[in-house]
Amino acid sequence: MATVRGSQEAKPLELEFGKTTVYERKNIRRIDEPDTDERRGFHGWEYDETQYTHAEWYKQDSIKNKLAIAELAELLAGGKANG
């Protein structure tokens, strides 16, 4: 995961599928830095981004779904999830 800055006008998508890459973004926040005498201020977005191939993303998503289903099943059965 890397912290990225982008100058998009609109808020970037949390999940974006490219031709070969899936971009997963979290903690998206607007940045508006003032200009200084030395440089122009940054105006855009900053976010944590992880890049996956399509195969990697589908594998990660499948694992997350299985864990969520198992946790939900435990809750419905009257148990306590996560301890």
Cβ-based neighbour number of residue 77 at 10 Å: 7
Phi-psi region of 78 (alpha: psi -120 to 50; beta: other; left: phi over 0): left
Per the confidence metrics, is the pTM higher than 0.85? no
In this prediction, residue 58 carries a pLDDT of 87
- Bridge partners (DSSP) of residue 30 are 45
Model confidence pLDDT, tens digit, residues 19-75 = 999 999 999 999 998 888 888 888 999 999 999 999 998 898 888 888 888 888 888
DSSP conformation letters of 11-54: PPPSEEE-SSEEEEEEEEEEEEPPP-SSSPPPEEEEEEEEEEEH
